[in-house]
Amino acid sequence: MLFVAGVLVLGCAAPPDRTEILVAAASDLNFAAKEIIPLFERQTGHSVKLSLGSSGAFHAQIQNGAPFDVFLSADVLYPQELEKAGLTEPGSLFVYAVGRIVLWVPKDSPIDVASRGIHALTDSRIAKVAIANPEHAPYGRAAVSALRYFGIYDAVGGKLVFGENVSQAAQLVQSRAADAAVIALSLALSDSMKAAGVYWEVPLQAYPKMEQGAVILRRARQAGRLEAARAFMETLKSAEGRAALERYGFFLP
């Protein structure tokens, strides 16, 4: 079974006295992780192989034996389920951040999202709206909840196009395969998306609280990588790690 949506290898090949850990992370962490991982590598001498994708897909892959050491989920329920199944290191689960969603459009869009907010999606000039697939992506479920909250799901549902995860939803609108997207604030705050578009932040009451959970997986101990995995979690919890999350719009627990 294929279990990697996309792999980014940060750092050089580890020498024998270093440990490389395998981290599965929700794609909303795309930019924050690229600040946190080098910090961890400098501080510990260990290295990270990072896989980015949808939390639900990673949850299924881990249940089917994917050899990850750490799971950073966009929905704390997924690591909680793995914990109940005995697939995690006892006591390692914690909420590391709370995510937020925004409506994003290209800068040259004729749609004024600042004044119209999410109701702009009902405009006839918007033919396609990208979101993450709600079947396995927490950000997709949050987007659907927001559309229902504002009473526009019936008007907009036929326009929806799905990315495998929230990063792919962002790519759809960046490539003009969609006219607008409901995506993670953490992606909208990246340099590339700030330069290319504008966003409107969806009010928090419009969707369930997006508590994001981190956990060390049982395979870390089995593979002799437990101490390195624990060190990674400490970096994530550190002042520098938390500051990186805040820079990309995450609330901190």
Find the CATH number of the domain harbouring 113: 3.40.190.10
- Residue 16 shares a structural domain with residue 85: yes
Q: Let me know if residue 223 belongs to a domain.
A: yes
Rounded CA separation 167/121 (Å): 20
Both 105 and 177 in a single domain?
yes
Burial (CB < 10 A; 0-12, 13-18, 19+), residue 158, is exposed
Q: Tell me what pLDDT residue 118 has.
A: 97
6 class by beta-carbon count within 10 Å (0-12 exposed, 13-18 middle, 19+ buried) = middle
Is there a single domain that holds both residue 73 and residue 152?
no
* Boundary residue ending a domain (201, 221, 237): 201
Closest by CA to 4, choosing from 61, 64, 86, is: 61
Asked if 94 and 213 sit in the same domain, the reply is: yes
| Domain housing 147 | 101-201
- Strand-pair category, 47-53 with 7-10: antiparallel
Query: Residue 194: what pLDDT?
Result: 95
For residue 186, give the nearest of 31, 55, 39 by alpha carbon: 31
Task: Answer with the one of 201, 218, 237 that is the final residue of a domain.
Answer: 201
* DSSP-H helix ranges across the chain: 30-44, 55-63, 77-84, 113-116, 138-149, 153-156, 166-174, 185-188, 191-196, 218-222, 226-237, 239-247
Number of structural domains the chain divides into: 2
Is 146 domain-assigned?
yes
Q: Is 5 helix (H, G, I), strand (E, B) or coil?
A: coil
Does residue 88 form part of some domain? yes
In a domain, 187, yes or no: yes
For the chain, residues with pLDDT lower than 70 are 1-17
Q: Give 101: exposed, middle or buried? Use CB within 10 Å, 0-12, 13-18, 19+.
A: buried
- Of the candidates 8, 95, 24, the one whose C-alpha atom is nearest the C-alpha of residue 62 is 24
Closest by CA position to 27, among listed 157, 140, 175, 147:
140
Q: Are residues 109 and 185 in the same domain?
A: yes
Record the tokens describing residue 76, joined without a space.
Answer: 């704390």
Integer Cα distance of 136 and 145 in angstroms: 14
- Token digits for 149? 């909250």
Distance separating alpha carbons of residues 106 and 126, to the nearest angstrom:
12
Q: Are 43 and 235 in contact, with CB atoms under 8 Å apart?
A: yes
253 found inside a domain: no
- The pTM is what? 0.89
Count the Cβ atoms, other than its own, within 10 Å of residue 189. 17
CB 57 within 8 Å of CB 164: yes
pLDDT of residue 253: 85
Residues 65 and 126 in one domain: no
